[in-house]
A and B are shown apart, each in its own frame.
Chain A
Amino acid sequence: MILGWLPQDVSTFGPNIDSVLKLIIYVVGTAFVLAEGTLLAFVILYRRREGGRAAFVPGESLRQLAWVLIPVVIVAILDVAIDVRAKSVWELVKEESPAPGLTVKLAALQFGWEFTYPGPDGKFGTPDDLVQTTFLTVSAGQVIRLLMTSKDVIHSFYVPQLRLRQDIIPGREIPAWFEATQPGKYEIACSQLCGNSHFAMKGILRVLSPEDYQQWVSQHWPKSGAGTGKSASSARPSLSGKEG
């Protein structure tokens, strides 16, 4: 019901994050409903009645305090369980980085994105690099590794459909990775205030099916025709056989 509002998920680690969100909503939701329910019940049940007298329950003895401490311990244990579940997802998304099919350098600047592709030789700083603004074109089913820097202020690479957000600090090179599963056009937004036109800093993540991607590659590197980095087509795991 609540999670119905989540946008479409097209990233491999998306389901992990969605499952952590689902777990949290269930655990936290029940605790919330129980607490508010008890509050509402007490407010209705114990209204002032003529000649009525409140009970003297100061909560000094351990037996009385148990009524509060036990629910707290339960809530604490559930929180720890959530965190243990979330730890593996955090490490998957932020700490490990699977072997990249393609590494792209990203430079965020005030009010735009700049992507640098290494070109067929797979190395940066070589003449065959391709620099594109606003559009990041990748192949579906390929692990993309982003090396992100900023040219001026703090920006943040955010694609809701990839469930990925990573702030970019000027002066540091920050890695991030994702693997899109479905071809399509997804909007890249900046989610850290970076100036008066922060809201207009939109980029487009174009995920192509492997065939279309080959065509795009051959358009931009006509003479060599080989895929970028390790040749993208062959290294593609079978998973992404689905057409866009």
Chain B
Amino acid sequence: MEQTDFSASDSLKTWGLLVVLLLIGVLTVALGLPRSLALWVIFCVAAAQAYVIGRYYMRLRSEDVLIYTLALLPVVTVIVLAFVLSPDVAMHR
């Protein structure tokens, strides 16, 4: 069993990072930044938070390749679905 040290300080640090990212997201909306910039910031914050949880809480980094693929395969499938659907659903005549 690989050593998964859920030490208290690690968890607190992760929690702090998540809260900071949350504040950034909230600030971009509160300050009313221009739309396209705000959208970029919001989605980068969300992606960063998802990465932080995946890496620290779910211990994805220390997992072997099988769990890694099981985690990433659906995400890739959804992105493929979005891109292939877009010409018809998003921009149809």
User: What is B's interface to A at a CB cutoff of 8 Å?
Assistant: 92-93
Q: What range describes how many residues of A lie at the interface?
A: under 10
Q: Residues on A close to B: CB < 8 A?
A: 172-174
CA gap between A173 and B93 in the complex, in Å:
8
Bound Cα distance A174, B93 (Å): 8
User: Which A residues touch B93, using CB under 8 A?
Assistant: 172-174
Bound-complex Cα distance A173 to B92 (A): 11
Give B31 Cβ to nearest chain A Cβ, in Å. Answer: 38
Q: How many A-B residue pairs have CB under 8 A?
A: 4
How far is A116 from B14 in the complex, measured between Cα atoms in Å? 66
A-B contact pairs, 4 of them (CB 8 A): A172-B92, A172-B93, A173-B93, A174-B93
Closest to B93 in A: A172
CB distance from B89 to the nearest CB of A (A): 12
How far apart are the CA atoms of A174 and B92 in the complex, in Å? Answer: 11
Chain A residues with CB under 8 A of B92: 172
Distance in angstroms between the alpha carbons of A34 and B93 in the assembled complex: 45
A203 to B93, CA, bound (A): 27
Closest 4 pairs (CB-CB, A-B): A172-B93, A172-B92, A173-B93, A174-B93
Residues of B close to A174: CB separation below 8 A:
93
Q: Which residue of B lies closest to A174 (CB)?
A: B93
Q: Determine the distance from Cα of A172 to Cα of B92 in the docked complex, in whole angstroms.
A: 9
**Shortest CB–CB separation between residue B48 and chain A, in angstroms?**
38
Closest to A173 in B: B93
Q: Given the complex of chains A and B, what is the CA–CA distance between A186 and B40 in angstroms? A: 57
- Bound state CA distance, A172 and B89, in angstroms? 12
Minimum CB–CB distance for B72 against chain A, Å: 31
A172 to B93, CA, bound (A): 7
